[in-house]
């Protein structure tokens, strides 16, 4: 059966206009990290009719990914995520344009961001985060951030908002990335996670043994909560493209507590 883009997006119309759908089709989104959050985001955006994705990840699927990552199956374990995801996304839209990258460096970030309308930050490794956030700010590309925590969360950095480094009060501000060691970045990644304590009530979800896992780089993740945030991030990308509604600009998160259906308080 021949593929027709108009049939793919037919049910979108009525919630968005034909003109808005054309914007989505012409848009390019860079998704940095296509694991728990980024994998879901890539699928949601593809099904929404985005025409051009750049996906960046150097990981292979592992058996521990099965609990939450939408492209993780018994037969994809050990396979490079970006290759598996490209294959699946083209089963949805054979016409989608996909560029794949295995890493983010100061040398290739400008090439990755070429023609990008919105970037998505879905990784928890600090060094590439700094490279991405600095470059998107310089190029005036909105950067959508979210974390795989028990509350739904999303926020957006732009050239006019406090930067990622400023929000997390990182000592890297104004300094060369090369002046920090891998151990510095590991330590500062944990420091970033500590800053999430500013979200009221978040600590109560993590017993002492979970805190110890986090310190070792093993952040607990649960599919319903990861996917909740991924959908919020996907929608924020679309809102930015279509100039819809209210955007949660840095330093504030848009937050949702699904356990008691409330909006958590946050310190800034």
The CA angle 83-87-89, to the nearest 5 degrees, is 115
pLDDT for res 126: 94
Question: Could you tell me the sign of the dihedral formed by the alpha carbons of 33, 39, 40, 42, in that order?
Answer: positive
How confident is the model over 73-112, as pLDDT tens digits? 999 999 999 999 999 999 999 999 999 999 999 999 999 9
pLDDT reported for residue 215: 81
Query: Are 255 and 199 a contacting pair, CB within 8 Å?
Result: yes
| DSSP structure string for 55-110 | EE---B--GGGGGT-TT--TTTTTSBHHHHHHHHHHHH-TT-EEEEES---TTTHH
In this predicted structure, what is the pLDDT of residue 258? Answer: 97
Residues of the chain under the 70 pLDDT cut: 1-2
- The distance in angstroms from the start CA to the end CA of the chain is 53
Give the angle 100-106-108 at the CA atoms, nearest 5°: 30
pLDDT at 1: 54
Q: Which CATH superfamily is domain 17-256 in?
A: NAD(P)-binding Rossmann-like Domain (3.40.50.720)
Rounded Cα gap, residues 68 and 249, in angstroms: 27
- Strand pairing of 28-32 and 118-121? parallel
Contact status, residue 8 vs residue 58, Cβ threshold 8 Å: no
* Residues 164/252, Cβ–Cβ less than 8 Å: no
- List C-alpha distances in Å: 193 to 47, 122, 142, 147, 174: 32, 14, 22, 9, 21
Q: Is 91 exposed, middle or buried (0-12, 13-18, 19+ CB in 10 A)?
A: exposed
pLDDT, one tens digit per residue, over 121-130 is 999 889 999 9
């Amino acid at each position: 059966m021949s593929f027709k883009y108009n049939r793919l997006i037919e049910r979108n119309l009525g919630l968005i206009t034909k003109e808005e759908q054309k914007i989505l089709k012409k848009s390019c989104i860079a998704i940095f990290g296509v694991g728990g959050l980024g994998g879901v985001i890539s699928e949601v955006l593809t099904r929404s009719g985005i025409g051009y994705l750049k996906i960046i990840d150097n990981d292979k699927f592992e058996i521990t990914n099965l609990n939450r990552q939408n492209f993780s199956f018994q037969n994809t374990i050990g396979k490079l995520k970006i290759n598996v995801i490209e294959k699946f996304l083209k089963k949805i839209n054979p016409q989608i344009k996909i560029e794949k990258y295995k890493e983010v460096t100061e040398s290739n970030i400008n090439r990755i961001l070429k023609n990008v309308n919105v970037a998505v930050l879905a990784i928890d490794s600090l060094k590439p985060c700094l490279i991405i956030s600095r470059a998107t700010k310089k190029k005036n590309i909105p950067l959508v951030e979210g974390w795989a925590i028990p509350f739904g969360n999303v926020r957006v950095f732009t050239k006019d908002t406090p930067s990622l480094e400023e929000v997390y009060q990182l000592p890297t501000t104004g300094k060369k990335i090369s002046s920090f060691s891998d151990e510095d970045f590991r330590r500062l990644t944990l420091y970033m996670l500590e800053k999430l304590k500013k979200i009221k009530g978040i600590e109560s979800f993590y017993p002492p043994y979970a805190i110890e896992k986090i310190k070792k780089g093993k952040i607990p993740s649960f599919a319903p909560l990861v996917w909740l945030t991924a959908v919020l991030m996907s929608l924020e990308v679309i809102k930015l493209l279509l100039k819809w509604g209210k955007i949660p600009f840095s330093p504030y998160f848009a937050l949702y507590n699904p356990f008691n259906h409330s909006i958590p308080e946050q310190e800034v």
